[in-house]
Amino acid sequence: MTNQVSPFEPSTFGDRALPMFRLANEVRPTGRFSIPPLWAWGVLASLVCSPGRALAEGSWSDQVVDLSAAGRIARNPAAAVDASGNVTVIWGLDHANENTILQGNRFSTGWSGAIDIDGTGSNWQPRAVAEPAGAVIAVWESKTGEQWAVRTARFSNGGWSSPISLSAPGLDARSPAVAVDGSGNVTVVWQRGSTIQSARSIGGSWEKVVDLGDAGTATASPQVAADANGNVTAVWERGGDGGVTIQSARFSEGHWAAPAEISVPGKDARRPNVATDSNGNVTVVWELAGAADRIVQSARFRAGAWTAPIDLSDAGAQAGKAQVAVDGTGNVTAVWGAKVGSDLIIQSARFGNEGWSRPVDIGVAGKLETWGERGLPSPKVASDRAGTATVVWERVDDRGVSVQSARYASASWGAATRLAEAGPASASPQVVADDAGNVTAVWLNSGIVQSKRGGDAPQPRTYTITMAKSGEGTVTSSPEGIDCGTVCNAAFEEGSYVFLFAKPGSGQVIGGWSGDCGQWIGPPKASCMLTMKANKTVSVSFRPASANTKTLQLIKKGKGTGTVNSEPAGLSCREDCRTTLASFEKGARVTLTAAAGEGSRFKGWSGACSGKKTTCVLKMGQSKRVGAIFDTYPRN
C-alpha cells in the first residue's frame, strides 16, 4: 500500500518562530487562609499574606522537585494521572542485599512524600494507571530468589494495599503493562515464558489469568490499551524463523479474540506501542528494521478490522522507539527518535481528519559522538482532552544530559524547552497530562527521581513539611494536610502560613519541638507556625505525664546567629529561632551545646547558665530559663 500523507502541518522545525512553552515569570496573588484557633488571632493581625507564584498559561514551572531521597539509587520511574489531576509516580529504589524496593509519591495540591509500596525481593519496570474514580493500579516485575513474577498493588482511600502476585510460579513472568477502561476495569498483560498472558480486575476483584498468544522467540514487549466502552487491545512481538511480527489480541463482549498479525510477515518489527480513542479506534506504532534503514510504521483498528501498515518516518533514515498518544477528539500524535546524518533528532507525525501528516522535526537529542552507546532517543508523549500534546526526551551534548520538552498546540509545534539543566546523568523521562491541560514530567537525575509541572492551568508553587514525632501523640495542621500519626508529609502553597498543633496521647505531655519549629512556640506549648518559603522539617516529642516534669526555656540574644541543642534530645533552636521550650524529668541532667553560625561567635550564657564555654550542664530540679548570646565579629 502506498504511504498516504497530507500537508496539513508544517514540515520543518526551523519555520516555527514562537515557542508555545516558556518559563513562568508571572506572579499572581492567591489567598490562602484557614481559620485558626482563637488564640492565634492576635498573631494573625500582624501578618500580611504574601503572594504565591503560579504558572502562566502554557508554561512550565521553574520548580524542580526531588521525589525520591538522596543517597540511594532510584530506577525506572513511571507516572499516572486521574481525572481530577492527581498524579502518582512510582519507581524502584536500591536497597540492602541487592534488593530494589518499590516506592511511590503522590501529587494533589503538592507532593506528599515518598512511601514504600513493596519491600519484598527486587522490583523493576513499574507501570501505573489511574481509574476514573481516582484509585491507582501499579504493576511491576518482582524477583524473589531466582524467579520473576508480576505483582500489583492498589492505591485508594489514602493508602496502598498489600502487594499480590498475578502470575503463577514455575516460569519467569516479566514486562507487565496495564490499562483501564471507562468503567474502571483494569487489564494487565505480561510475558510468562514464551506466552503472553493477561489478568483483569473487575470491580476490584482479579479474574483468572488467561493466555493470549505465543511470543515465539522474540522478546515480546507486550503493551495494552482500553477504550471508554470496555474494549481492550493488547499488542506484542512474536518471533519466528521468518522474522519478528507485531501481533494483537482484542478483548470485546466478554472474551479475548484469537491473535492477529498486524505487521508485514518476513520482516523484523519491534517495540510496539498502542493507544485508543473514546470511539474505540486503535493506533499501533512500531519500528521495522530493513537491510539499510529502520522505519516507523503504524496500523489502525477501526470498523472492526485492521488497516494495512503505513510508513510514518522517511525512507532511508534510522528511526525507532516510537510512542503514540490520542487526545479527546481522536487526533493521534506519534513521536520517535531518528538519526539524520550525524544528528539525533525527535520527530513526529499526526493523524487527523486528513490522515497521517508528513514527519516533522520537533527537537534535537544530540550528536552521535556525544550520544555514545545509548542507541536512538526514546521520546515519550502525552495528550490532553483539548488536543495539546507534550513530548519529553533526553538531550546529550558537551554539557551533559538534560531533559527537553516540546508542545503541540494551535496546529503547530513550539520550540523545545529545557526542563532540567544538563548534568552527569538525567535519564528515563516520562510525561502525563490531565484533562485540564496540566502536565507532569518525571525523570532520573543522578539516581534521584525528579519532577516538573506545566500546562494550561495555573499551578501554584509548593513546599513540603516533613513531620517526625516520638512518643504517643498526634500532630495536625491548619490548613489541612498534616495528620501525623498517619500522614506526616504534606505540601502547602508558597507564602502560606501553616499552623501545627501537637496533641499528647493519654497520660502524655509535649516534650518539645525541634527543627524548623524551634523558632516559635505558641501557648500552651502545643503549636507552631511556619511560613512556607522553603521545605520544612519538624520534630516533636511526647513524654509520659509526671508531676516531676520541669520546663527549660531558651532565649537567643545578640546580633549573631547560631544553634542550641540539648542532650537528652528535646530542645532544639536553629539559626532562625529566637526562643523555644522543652520539658524534662525533674532531676534530669541536661547538657546544652551552642554552635555559632557563619560569621558569628558564641559570646556566652545568661540566666541559669553562665560562662563562655559552648556547653552548659543543668540539673532540672526546677523549671529554668537560659539565654544564649551570639555576636558578630568586629570589623577591622
Phi-psi category of 269—alpha, beta or left, where left has phi over 0 and alpha has psi -120 to 50?
beta
In a domain, 401, yes or no: yes
CB 482 within 8 A of CB 490: yes
Q: Which contiguous run of DSSP H or E holds residue 430? A: strand 426-433
CB 284 within 8 A of CB 270: no
**462-470 and 536-544: which strand pairing?**
parallel
In a domain, 360, yes or no: yes
Q: Output the pLDDT for position 426.
A: 63
pTM of this prediction?
A: 0.70
User: How far is the C-alpha of 549 from the C-alpha of 360, rounded, in Å?
Assistant: 74
Q: Tell me the one-letter amino acid at 401.
A: V
Q: Output the pLDDT for position 460.
A: 66
In a domain, 119, yes or no: no
CB 239 within 8 A of CB 218: yes
Last residue of a domain, one of 430, 455, 480: 455
Q: Output the pLDDT for position 58.
A: 55
Rg (CA), the chain: 29
In a domain, 501, yes or no: no
Alpha-carbon dihedral 351, 353, 358, 360, rounded to 10 degrees:
-60
The verdict on 451 and 550 lying in the same domain is no
Q: Which contiguous run of DSSP H or E holds residue 37? A: none
Cell numbers for 128: 501505573
Q: Output the pLDDT for position 6.
A: 33
- Cα separations in angstroms, 430 against 157, 364, 606: 26, 17, 57
CB 408 within 8 A of CB 427: no
The verdict on 436 and 335 lying in the same domain is yes
Alpha-carbon dihedral 317, 321, 327, 332, rounded to 10 degrees:
30
Count Cα neighbours of 242 within 13 Å in the Cβ-side half-sphere.
6
The verdict on 348 and 448 lying in the same domain is yes
- Kindly tell me the sign of the dihedral angle through the C-alpha atoms of 66, 68, 71, 73: negative
In a domain, 35, yes or no: no
Last residue of a domain, one of 438, 455, 472: 455
Q: Which contiguous run of DSSP H or E holds residue 332? A: strand 332-340
- Kindly tell me the sign of the dihedral angle through the C-alpha atoms of 478, 492, 484, 590: negative
Instruction: Tell me which residue has cell 509519591.
Output: 105
Mapped onto helix, strand or coil, the DSSP state of residue 191 is: strand
Q: Tell me the one-letter amino acid at 365.
A: A
The verdict on 339 and 447 lying in the same domain is yes
Name the phi and psi angles at 96, rounded to 5. -65, 160
The verdict on 319 and 441 lying in the same domain is yes
**Residue among 587, 582, 594, 596 at smallest CA distance from 618:** 587
Cell numbers for 428: 528515563
Q: Output the pLDDT for position 524.
A: 43
Domain count, the chain: 2
Domain that holds residue 577: 546-636
In a domain, 243, yes or no: no
CB 404 within 8 A of CB 390: no
In a domain, 608, yes or no: yes
Cβ-based burial of 385 (10 A; exposed 0-12, middle 13-18, buried ≥19): middle
Cell numbers for 162: 498489600
Last residue of a domain, one of 455, 478, 493: 455
> What is the CATH number for 574?
2.60.40.10
Ranges in the chain, pLDDT < 70? 1-58, 96-98, 218-219, 291, 372-374, 422-426, 456-460, 518-525, 547, 635-636
CB 92 within 8 A of CB 123: yes
The verdict on 328 and 447 lying in the same domain is yes
Cα end-to-end span (Å), the chain: 85
Maximum separation of any 2 CA atoms in the chain, in Å: 94
Cβ-based burial of 171 (10 A; exposed 0-12, middle 13-18, buried ≥19): middle
In a domain, 107, yes or no: no
Mapped onto helix, strand or coil, the DSSP state of residue 331 is: coil
